[in-house]
Structure 1
Amino acid sequence: MGKFVTLKQLASQLQLSHTTVSRALRDHPRISPATKLRVKQLASQLGYVPNVQMMHQGQTRYIGVIVPDITIFFYAKIIETLQSLLSEAGYTLLLFNTQESETLERQAVRSCIEHRVAGVVAAISSSTKTHRHFEDLLQHEIPLVFYDRVVNFLPVPKIIADDYRASYQATQYLLEHGCHCIAHVTASIHLNNSNNRLYGFMDALKESNLEVNENLIHYYEMEPQSIEDFLRKTLHKYPQLDGITVFNDYVANIVVNVLLKFGKRIPEDISVFGFSDEPIASYMNPRLSSVQQIAPKMARLSAQKLLAIIQQEEPMESEKIVIHQDLVIRESTQS
């Protein structure tokens, strides 16, 4: 495959901004005739073909959607909403389930490049440690929007939840309802969302003049047995444990089952707070307190942003859209 000339390269050679070049190519009235001529002459000389023109030629009717785990309800709702919105706009989804594998994620990005998709909507896997493959995507001038799990340093739009604030509020709720010794189960240190939930938990403790005890923080790596090992050790060393916040509802369910196995009453002995309000939260016994499900809104904003970039209504640039989440209080926490 030959190397594509990108809008970024045009802007660099012309010493103009990305936005100015994009507008000049679209005959925007705010761009002077002289600038439009310079831009179009160089674009013609270098063989630049905007995505929107290639789409009209029938070459880019696909949008790549990269999800970390299709079996999780949150991501299933993301796919469902994207499918509906992007199909209405005339696109077909190429769906890639990375199964939390960086290798499969790299293969997905390569496939998107080879198919010259119109754009990509992506959330990174829990095992992703390097991000060169996404940089390659941008080098081919394929529009990219991250959602939920993002690469912060890349200059693209990111649609995320206010995980820090929600975790802070969930921890505060436990503190305000009698908890004094609270543990936290988090995920990979390479994920922005689990890190933000961890930071929210820690700051809530600090603001209540409570020590952040590293022994009460567990980094979950997709191994359920580790939860039982962590809780057995923690309850032995800290019998006063009376609260646990967990980075998602599926792992919170494991936590609850282990606590019940150990003879603990929920919430009388230990309150448990989950995250993302998955369907399982309503069917657990006791029903799980959690943080509001926002997948449809996140998918809708991601689709709208990507379509605006593809249609060159907006430039592709660094932007962070943060979605507020409410607490959903049920029977797994003291009230």
Structure 2
Amino acid sequence: MAALRIEAQTVAAHTCAAYLWIMGKYVTLKQLAKQLNLSHTTVSRALRNHPRISEVTKQKVQQLADELGYVQNPNAQMMNQGKSRFIGIIIPDITIFFYAKIIETLQIILADAGYTLLLFNTQENEAEEQKAVQACIERRVEGVLAAISVETKQHSHFESLLKHEIPLVFFDRVLNFLPVPKIIADDYRASYQTTQHLLDKGCRCIAHVTASIHLNNSNNRLYGYMDAIKDHGSTIDEQLIHYYEMNPQSIETFLNKTLKKYPQLDGVTVFNDYVANNVVNVLLKLGKKIPEEVSVFGFSDEPIASYMHPQLSTVQQIAPKMATLATQKLLSILLQEDTLTSEKIVIHQDLILRETTRA
């Protein structure tokens, strides 16, 4: 499984021993007890100032602990309390800048709250996603933040988290029918606005490149495009819609075929910036002038949008805000300030106009 764990040090779940660092080796509480000729339980209680342990014994234990630079293991204490202080993070693709920014923000907030982030990168694979969920259960994480993979069609693995009473909060890519909080972007509205902008600038034959029909965000972007076309008084032409399936070559095939049938093509809206960059490159290769002949709109303002030439018009990046809201929601549930209910928080996005659309 493609999993990355971000944590300082790890102690196995079955280990209740504290540790200290001596001569390059960890020394367990049991070894400390042996050196003092006391029981493991007595040493543990002495360090916790248990009332049943005499003051003499407490002082003896604490003195040796201080001499050796003893450090209590907080993970062991929390395991004894039934708390792991782990939060599972399941994302579809760590190489996408949007998710990298999500992780960066999550890690800062969770660390500040005293939690360790367990990160699972599913690489857009449902089977890996299922393994990640199972690993979260086995690790006894206290909560999970997740964005589903492009392949995800089942939901039973996420339901298993709820059966184990592990709070779940979805962000960005969500399963709408699960009764848990969901933090999403207003993809429908943003896509409607991008299409409307092209129409306002004179475009009349606009294509749309979308992703999996199983993803809520790409579907909402598709619906926004379609409604903007219909509201303008035009009919939807299915041949102007391309369902992208992670195959860059399909973009060239689609545009070649579309331009032969619709030489008047003058606009393309795309579900993300990486694929929009491919669209721009293919159009330039085919001799089209951008934006004079064809305007192109991306989505999410990835770094590539401002590095490419011409610079890509796109939709605002909201990863930090989405990560903050998702983490705050999960933490409020863990602190019992909020309940695990079906709730949807929608974040507004602005358009960013650059060089691939008409002024």
- Does 2:143 align with 1:119? yes
Secondary structure of 1:120's counterpart equals strand
Identity %: 75
- Does 2:90 align with 1:61? no
Q: In structure 2, what is the equivalent of residue 270 of structure 1?
A: 294
Distance 2:79 2:194 in 1: 46
Q: 1:279 aligns with which of 286, 289, 303?
A: 303
* CA displacement at 1:319 relative to structure 2: 0.3
Distance 2:315 2:242 in 1: 20
Distance 1:177 1:156 in 2: 41
Q: In structure 1, what is the equivalent of residue 116 of structure 2?
A: 92
Say if 2:102 and 2:319, in contact at 8 Å, map to a contact too.
yes
* CA displacement at 1:60 relative to structure 2: 1.8
Q: In structure 1, what is the equivalent of residue 19 of structure 2?
A: none
Secondary structure of 1:95's counterpart equals strand
Secondary structure of 1:184's counterpart equals strand
Q: 2:331 aligns with which of 265, 289, 307?
A: 307
For residues 40-79 of structure 1, what are the structure 2 equivalents within 5 Å?
A: 57=81, 59-79=83-103
Distance 1:147 1:156 in 2: 11
For residues 249-260 of structure 1, what are the structure 2 equivalents within 5 Å?
A: 249-260=273-284
Q: In structure 2, what is the equivalent of residue 142 of structure 1?
A: 166
Q: 1:83 aligns with which of 71, 93, 107?
A: 107
- Does 2:200 align with 1:176? yes
Question: RMSD of the TM alignment (CA)?
Answer: 1.2
Secondary structure of 2:345's counterpart equals strand
Whichever of the two has the greater Rg, that structure is 2
Distance 1:78 1:56 in 2: 31
Distance 1:105 1:288 in 2: 32
One-letter identity of the residue aligned with 1:207:
D
Q: In structure 2, what is the equivalent of residue 242 of structure 1?
A: 266
Distance 1:134 1:280 in 2: 33
Q: In structure 2, what is the equivalent of residue 42 of structure 1?
A: none
Secondary structure of 2:105's counterpart equals helix
Q: In structure 2, what is the equivalent of residue 17 of structure 1?
A: none
Distance 2:144 2:79 in 1: 14
Q: In structure 2, what is the equivalent of residue 221 of structure 1?
A: 245
Say if 1:55 and 1:118, in contact at 8 Å, map to a contact too.
no
* CA displacement at 1:58 relative to structure 2: 5.9
* CA displacement at 1:189 relative to structure 2: 0.3
What is the CA deviation profile of residues 262-314 of structure 1, one whole-angstrom value per residue up to 9, with x for unaligned ones? 01110011000000001110011110000000000000000100000111111
* CA displacement at 1:211 relative to structure 2: 1.3
* CA displacement at 1:59 relative to structure 2: 3.2
One-letter identity of the residue aligned with 2:281:
N
Say if 2:78 and 2:85, in contact at 8 Å, map to a contact too.
no
Secondary structure of 2:183's counterpart equals strand
- Does 2:193 align with 1:200? no
TM-score (norm 2): 0.78
Q: In structure 1, what is the equivalent of residue 53 of structure 2?
A: none
Q: In structure 1, what is the equivalent of residue 315 of structure 2?
A: 291
Secondary structure of 1:155's counterpart equals coil
- Does 2:129 align with 1:105? yes
Distance 2:79 2:182 in 1: 24
Distance 1:66 1:98 in 2: 7
Distance 1:56 1:111 in 2: 20
Say if 1:188 and 1:221, in contact at 8 Å, map to a contact too.
yes
Q: In structure 1, what is the equivalent of residue 153 of structure 2?
A: 129
One-letter identity of the residue aligned with 2:208:
H
Distance 2:293 2:259 in 1: 12
Q: In structure 2, what is the equivalent of residue 334 of structure 1?
A: 358
Secondary structure of 1:266's counterpart equals coil
- Does 2:169 align with 1:151? no
Say if 1:67 and 1:97, in contact at 8 Å, map to a contact too.
yes
* CA displacement at 1:55 relative to structure 2: 7.0
One-letter identity of the residue aligned with 1:161:
A
Secondary structure of 1:305's counterpart equals helix
Distance 2:300 2:173 in 1: 14
